[in-house]
Amino acid sequence: MTRFAYFCGHEQWQPETLVDHARLAEDAGFDLALVSDHFLPWVDDVSASGFAFATIGAMTQVTNQLGFATSVTTPLWRYHPALVAQAAATIDRLSGGRFALGVGTGEKINESPLGYPFPAYAERAARMEEALQIMRRLLDGEKLSFQGRYYTTTATKLYSPPVGDVPIWLAAGGPKSAALAARRAQGLITSVKNPATTTKKVLVPARQAAAAEGLPEPTIVATRWVIFAADKEEAWTSLAPWRGLRAPGRLDATDPEVLRTRADDLDRDEILADYTIASSPDQIIDAYLPLITELSADIVGLQMTSTDQPALIRTLGREVLPVLQTSGRPQP
């Protein structure tokens, strides 16, 4: 049975606003909220950058059934993996067992401004291999003394343990991270532009790696960016906090001001062409349906922005979720 997640972007909205969005998402019928974790946003003019774990803690107190997952946090530099495990366990307790820990290998804009290096993928993946072991073992209740190449713990234990099993989901955009997710995590989070490409580069390698290890297939969390707007002008206004995502040199940037300047030097149509723009509920359905019918995702994440987000959330609840919930999955 496919579940549906609403994306709460700290790079666009202040934390108190995201708490309201989570409450609205639960009322709309979403199963969980995916909450981003950034130290710096993508632009410096219309943006925000609240602390994700504090925001989720507040969200747990205004909801009753909505699940939560970080999408994603990086347990490699500014957070030690044991600290992330502690945060995850605390959120799980506050929510009554409604939390999943989404992690990823990070972005330079969140680590380098604090003085940390940001090495190439090979080292980040090696660090993640250790981090996943530390977090899993602590969340499972172990008193852990760990000596790795990158991380050390000595008689470390979570004395406020989670109330249930906290799954760990690893962000994956290619075969190496997908295989690591299958081996060391319980699921993967992947952002989809082309379903066929995602199947080839992410899902197939993950399933092959799981089979080779004799492990169950990982939970698949598939997200997709969609802008809800009547026309290109409205779409650009909606996208403003995210326009740095498509700026040249994004992966090497450490200052949102630089990304904003570079993005604004580009042709707007060039940036908008990288996104799906929907102007009706039917078009939103068309954008997300392939994640169910083609990818067979366990969780579909609606990562959307608009000029009136509360109205959009209500529209999703009335006109989009009821259709997606009965599409491409077994009927009860």
What does the CA dihedral 241, 242, 248, 249 come to, rounded to 10 degrees? 90
By DSSP bridging, strand 144-147 and strand 152-156 are antiparallel
Contacts of residue 283, defined as CB under 8 A and 6 or more positions apart, other chains included, come to none
b or e along 34-68 (b: 16 or more beta carbons within 10 Å of the residue's beta carbon)? bbbbbbbbbbeeebbbbebbebbbbbbeebeebbb
List all residues 6 or more positions away from 153 whose beta carbon is below 8 Å from its beta carbon. 82, 134, 144, 145, 146
Please report the sign of the dihedral spanned by the C-alpha atoms of residue 97, residue 103, residue 109, residue 113.
Answer: positive
Structure tokens at 82: 């044991």
Q: Which of 107, 129, 270, 294 is catalytic?
A: 107
Structure tokens, 99: 């939390």
Q: How far apart are CA 185 and CA 135, in angstroms?
A: 10
Q: Which helix (H) or strand (E) holds 244?
A: none
Beta bridge partners of residue 220, listed in sequence order? 188
Q: Looking at 26, 38, 111, 130, which residue is catalytic?
A: 38
CA angle centred on 125, ends 119 and 131, rounded to 5° = 110
Rounded Cα distance, 332 and 117, in Å:
51
Place of tokens 């067979």: 296
- Catalytic, 80? Answer no
Residue 96: count other Cβ atoms within 10 Å of its Cβ: 12
107 is catalytic: yes
| Cis amide linkage into residue 72, ω under 30° from 0 | yes
Cβ-Cβ contacts under 8 Å for 114 (sequence gap 6 or more)? 39, 77, 78
Taking each helix axis from N to C terminus, what angle separates 175-184 and 121-139, rounded to the nearest 10 degrees? 20
Catalytic residues, which ones? 38, 107
